[in-house]
Structure 1
Amino acid sequence: MPRGGKKGHKGRGKQFSNPEEIDRQMRAQEEEETAGAEKENSDSEEESSSDEDSEFKRRNGVEGLIEIENPNRVSQKNKKTSEVDVDAPKELSRREREEIEKQKSKERYMKLHYEGKTEQARADLARLAIIKKQREDAAKKRDELRKAEKEAEEAKAKR
């Protein structure tokens, strides 16, 4: 039976590196680290001497190589409490402005409506006048009927 069972052996055989090559790689890596540390020390001395270079800090990875010019990317700038103007007029959003305009127009309409200057108010007043007249007429008829009934009862009582 082959290695790995029925399915067969997948993968390569193990390869071992030479100890000499490992030593050579280690030395090269150490040299790079010491050169980078010396370079960082000289950079930190330059940064401490001038604040203008602090904007162009050393970036990790590819960030230092690529400049991003995205107009949509806005960096957040924190304001101090002394810089914030509390008395400045607040900019309203479109929805807020529309809501305020809607409320004002409704108030204007209601004011005109109470004064009876709108068409709907006139129609309502006319309808109310008709209803009032109908009720007055109905009240008169009831009074007349009551009087007629009383007279009829009095006439029966006299007989």
Structure 2
Amino acid sequence: MGRGKFKSKPTGHRQFSTPEDLLAGTSTRPRTFSKKEAEYDEVEEEIVESSEEESGDESEGQDEKKKGIQGIIEIENPNLVKPKTLKARDIDIGKTTELSRREREEIEKQRARERYMRLQEQGKTEEARKDLERLALIREQRAEAAKKREEERAENRRRWQPANDLFEAKQVMLLIVPELLWSLHFKVLV
């Protein structure tokens, strides 16, 4: 919400005509708009026709002389795009268009990138060699760590084997002794 007395944006209700409204003639759009447009088109056609007649008269006469230096020196602007109208039969389908400098550079850059990636996959680049050396070193370290862990587990099993046997014996005793005591208790009572 803005501050102040006045609204910051126009909030009027906008109303658009649908194609059905236009065809039915119930549009809120003023009817004079289409009349003005038709008048404008007629005036424009008259101007084009009169200019064609005038240009035809001039082409029959002498060519207009250029004044000053323009008459002496012919200047051709390389940046000026000359409109070329070609007929369908005059178009050379086999003609190849020359690429612009930027397009050529972009294509060369893509090819170089693809070539580099191909060499990278084959391991022929310096960066790929370094990566492979690093990978071999990491694999070697992981193999050593796995071997060390396995040795530690084996030693722990050896060290704790007597304790494990004792623990298992104790567990068995805890299961058997209550049953023996219970059975002895009933024998005494009976």
Question: Structure 2: which amino acid aligns with 1:142?
Answer: R
Percent of paired sites with the same residue: 44
Secondary structure of 1:114's counterpart equals helix
Q: What does 1:52-71 correspond to in 2, within 5 Å?
A: 56-57=59-60, 64-66=64-66, 69-71=74-76
Report the TM-score when normalising by structure 2.
0.48
Residue 148 (structure 1) shift: 1.2
Question: Structure 1: which amino acid aligns with 2:152?
Answer: L
**What CA distance in whole angstroms lies between the structure 2 residues aligned with 1:97 and 1:89?**
14
Q: What does 1:1-12 correspond to in 2, within 5 Å?
A: none
Report the TM-score when normalising by structure 1.
0.56
**What CA distance in whole angstroms lies between the structure 2 residues aligned with 1:121 and 1:55?**
74
**What CA distance in whole angstroms lies between the structure 1 residues aligned with 2:81 and 2:102?**
24
Corresponding residue number in structure 2 for 1:108 = 115
Q: What does 1:2-151 correspond to in 2, within 5 Å?
A: 56-57=59-60, 64-66=64-66, 69-72=74-77, 75-151=82-158
| Residue 96 to residue 75, structure 1, CA distance change in 2 (3 Å) | closer
Unaligned runs of 5+ in 2: 1-52, 167-190
CA-atom RMSD, angstroms? 2.9
Corresponding residue number in structure 2 for 1:33 = none
**What CA distance in whole angstroms lies between the structure 1 residues aligned with 2:115 and 2:154?**
51
Query: Number of aligned pairs?
Result: 105
Question: Structure 2: which amino acid aligns with 1:108?
Answer: R
Unaligned runs of 5+ in 1: 1-43, 48-53
Residue 156 (structure 1) shift: 1.8
Secondary structure of 1:82's counterpart equals helix
Secondary structure of 1:99's counterpart equals helix
| Residue 55 to residue 155, structure 1, CA distance change in 2 (3 Å) | farther
**What CA distance in whole angstroms lies between the structure 2 residues aligned with 1:133 and 1:57?**
93
Question: Structure 2: which amino acid aligns with 1:81?
Answer: A
**What CA distance in whole angstroms lies between the structure 1 residues aligned with 2:147 and 2:84?**
82
